A = this chain, B = another copy of it.
Amino acid sequence: MLALNFKKMGGLIPAIVQDYKTGDVLMLAFMNQAAWEQTLKTGRATYFSRTREVLWVKGLTSGHIQRVKEIRVDCDNDTVLLKVEQVGGAACHTGYASCFFKKVEDGTLVHVGQPVFDPKEVYQL
C-alpha cells in the first residue's frame, strides 16, 4: 500500500477533487488511512467525514458517486489530488457542479452558474 503522511493533521490528509475532463476543482475532502485504502481498492472516492467521524463513500446517498480516473500525490506525501468522473454532474450537496460556486468580487461573494440538481429532490429533505 502506498504510504502517505497522515501525521501532520492528526490522521487525516486533504484530498482535492478535480473533474478529470474539464479540470474544474469540484471539492475538498479529507481521508484517513482507511479511506485512502478503500479509494485505491474500489476506485470510488471515499473520504472521512470529520463531522460524523465515519468513512464516507461520496455519493452513497445521492447516487452521485465519483469514479477515480487518476490519483496524484504531492511532493510531501501529505495531500492527494483525485481526478474523477462525477456521476450526476454535481459534486456539491447544494446541487452546484462544484462546491466552489462563490466568487470573490469587490469584497462580496457572487454565485457563479446554476445548480445542476435540487437538493430537496435528491436527498428527499
Contact = CB atoms under 8 A, between A and B. Distances in A.
A contact face: mostly helix, strand, loop, or mixed:
loop
A74 B104 CA distance: 11
Contacts of A96: 75
Interface in A1-23: 1-2, 8, 14, 16, 18, 22-23
Interface residues of A, number: 37
**Most chain B CB atoms below 10 A, which of A18, A70, A81, A109:** A81
A92 B72 contact: no
A57 interface: no
Interface string A5-47: 0001000001010100011110110000000000010000000
